[in-house]
Chains A and B, each alone.
Chain A
Amino acid sequence: MPGHTRSRDVFLNCPFDLAYLPMFRATVFAVIRSGFRPRCALETDDGARNRLGLITDIIEECRYGIHDISRTEADGTPPLPRFNMPLELGLFLGARRYGGKPQKEKRCLILDRERYRFQRFMSDIAGQDIHSHGGEPDQCIVEVATWLRDQSRSKTVPGGRAIAVEFAAFQTDLPAICRARGLQPDELTFGDFTAMVEAYLIAP
């Protein structure tokens, strides 16, 4: 894997369903507010493109990764766990382990609902520091912002709790912003949402 990583790109490895949307949007907001750029598999809606190929390309380009394994739980009939998140975490760790020098600079944050739950389904990652968000978007913002600030060593990025307050204000304004553009908040694509957060954060 000869490719360079991008020093401000953060790969988001998480579910994309409606139930997880508040957590996903909170994470995206925290990443942009911290001076980084979120990347994920929602970047293209190209049915002709192999999804795993797209994901591995994004993983290769990102120096940072945020992996939420909280939805690795039995579901459906018969009940089976979703393994997409652990698979992509494995790809990210593999790139760091086997890739060239730029890939070895990769860093990741692993999130779960409870700190030691992973030991029941992915005990091989014992030794990694798993952070708990308790299923709360505000706590997720605190964990993401604290970790990114530590990575960037920035002295200007505010703390996670302050970013969570800003996110709450953004969420309050979001319906009016969407209405003005003839949209509902749940119709926003990943590109729409990131552009909206960018414009909101730099608006005078």
Chain B
Amino acid sequence: MTKSAKIAHASKPAPYVVSGRTADGVSVLRSAVKPTHFTSKQIAKTIETIRVGAKTR
């Protein structure tokens, strides 16, 4: 790889991270910014718990 090719390559943006897919198959991309008050794992767990609770009620 030439030096100029390296520079051109470096300016390309990083690939997207797919957080998951919706029920109908649409890719949900990870946000450009992290949450402030919880982690992604914590909020996923919270939503799952609330949904399970709603289903069993």
A residues sitting closer than 8 Å to B (CB atoms) are 2-4, 6, 8-9, 32-39, 43-44, 61, 154, 156-158, 173, 176-177, 180-181, 183, 187-192, 194-196, 198-204
B1 CB → nearest A CB, Å: 18
For A34, A154, A188, A199, which residue has the most chain B Cβ atoms within 10 angstroms? A199
Residues in A whose Cβ lies below 8 Å from that of B49: 180
Q: Does B32 contact A (CB under 8 A)?
A: yes
Contact A33 B22 (CB under 8 A): yes
Task: Give 28 A-B contacts (CB < 8 Å), ordered by A residue.
Answer: A9-B32, A33-B22, A37-B29, A39-B32, A44-B33, A61-B13, A154-B26, A156-B25, A158-B24, A173-B50, A176-B50, A180-B46, A180-B49, A180-B50, A181-B43, A183-B37, A188-B37, A189-B36, A190-B33, A191-B34, A192-B36, A198-B31, A199-B19, A201-B28, A202-B20, A203-B47, A203-B51, A204-B48
Chain B residue nearest to A180 (CB atoms) is: B46
Contact A33 B37 (CB under 8 A): no
Residues in A whose Cβ lies below 8 Å from that of B12: 4
The size class of the interface chain B forms with chain A is 20 to 34
Contact B28 A4 (CB under 8 A): no
Residues in A whose Cβ lies below 8 Å from that of B33: 43-44, 190-191, 194
For A38, A156, A196, which residue has the most chain B Cβ atoms within 10 angstroms? A196
A32-B29, A177-B46, A203-B48 known; A4+B13 contact, CB < 8 A: yes
Contact A32 B28 (CB under 8 A): yes
Q: Does B5 contact A (CB under 8 A)?
A: no
Residues in B whose Cβ lies below 8 Å from that of A176: 50
